[in-house]
Amino acid sequence: ILDSYETFVEPRRTLPYRIQRLTNITPAMLVGAPAFSAIAPRLRALLGDAPLVGHSVGFDASFLRKMHLAERNALLDTYELASLLLPTLPSYSLGTVAEHLGVAAPTHHRALADAVLARDVLLALEARIRALPDEVLADLCELAPPLVLPASLPLHQERTRRGLSSGSNTTTFARAINAQLRMNPNVLDLHVATLADPAPRPLVARTDGQRGEIRDISDAVTSALTQRQAALIELAAPSDSVEAVLGPAMAWALPGAQRLVIAAATPAAARAIVEVHLPRALGRLATPPDAAPTVALCAEPRDYLCLHRWYGPLRTAVAATPETMRGLAKLTVWAHDTATGARDEITLPSMEAPAWDLVRGSATFTETPGCAYRERGWCFARRARDAAASAQIVVTTHAALFASGGPTALPAADGYLLTEAHLLEEGVMASAAHTIEADALTRTLDCLWRRDGRGNGGLLDRAVRAIPGDTGQNWGNTVGRAREAATAFFAALSAVPADLPPAGKGANASEGAPQ
């Protein structure tokens, strides 16, 4: 720390109460505080032309630039950098990031304290960058040029420090392996390669000291499972809802080694059942370790990373937005550490979600013959499915449970327990229906073929170069016409009035006639 400066500023307005509660700054503290114009020269001299570091620093810089300060200073955002390097955090607030990195944060919402905290967070994130494997660092730099994602500048500086060349880091020998095995040799660097056995793991119970199940709920669950009947149970307390039914279900399943399938509304809720609620339920039953059931978590193929697509050309062929590029960069860091490849492990906001669509699994790749990743046991979706086949307790989602056969089919069970039944209709519709959205369709077509001021691009453009004659160009023209037709189709749909009369109420409808 070469210098520091901190001062209150006269706000020229009444201090809002919500700001007082947030910062613990009171109007009395601002009595006699200087106006911003009085401190501007001191602040300008302090900043100079140095880069400005902060958490969502663009927000802070906008106020300075409104006052004609820091107009040419580069910005380094620890929020953006943390989102790239810590892809599984549920939140990227400064306090959450600092806590995850083990950085002490004694004071919040004070200018100097937050500035020092942002400095410490930056240093911790730089240490994370230095610990990245060469291949991950190279992939991140290729995906995220500084002009697209300014937060990636420290990544490129680290690549330069290591002396790694730009462009593909795949050696000639590795390309030869790839040609022989039909899979990218970098898959051997994934954490999944260190897994010994994909078999389901025993679930170890832990006692949490909570109260036992309510008697009538226990009787209802046990009776329904024993007699193979349906029971609809409504519970008022959300904290007890899952455990109250899991306890008697476990008591029914364990003695006779009955297979039980538990379905939750979302993959995240299913994971919470495996990691939190099931151990609590078993703890209440005082289940000995040797009697612990094997548990497998199995969602739909689309909820897992597909290595066939991850190492394919799509990531580099698509003209991605900065948000999609950020999502791909986060996936690059996560893919090197994940043991399950499950979507719910990583935090991708809606703006970054298209990145997942580029690399997610599907029934096509799970079942396609000849996939080297699946044949050698690397397929995340197939590993989850195989584990479910030999587990006593299978935890899944509503959508996966009701998928009609195919690769998402789960093994037959002796009993079924569906949590969050009020969301069941959405899960059934998700498995039985298909939605086509204009943006998703045009994005897919652009991945295949696009033409802009720089020429042609997309996956087909790569294939065209190896095909003599006009065949490749005809493919591109066909995709181009399909895109034009899709644009016209959705434009026509948008012109349909939203207030059409309901069936049977139209002007030409005869009374009583079916419509």
Tell me the catalytic residues. 109
Closest to 114 measured CA to CA, from 97, 126, 91, 128: 97
Q: Are strands 455-457 and 52-54 parallel, antiparallel or unpaired?
A: unpaired
Indicate the residue type of 241: S
Closest to 414 measured CA to CA, from 227, 292, 246, 258: 258
Tell me 276's DSSP state.
I
Token pair belonging to 18: 């919500």
Q: Tokens 């939190």 — which residue?
A: 276
Token pair belonging to 116: 């020092």
The Cα–Cα gap between 84 and 334 comes to: 9
The Cα–Cα gap between 188 and 73 comes to: 42
157, 346 in Cβ contact below 8 A? Answer: no
The Cα–Cα gap between 507 and 501 comes to: 9
How many residues are recorded in the chain? 515
The Cα–Cα gap between 140 and 155 comes to: 8
Closest to 483 measured CA to CA, from 442, 455, 436: 442
306, 331 in Cβ contact below 8 A? Answer: no
Q: What share of the chain is helix, strand, coil (3-state, %, to 5)?
A: 55, 5, 40
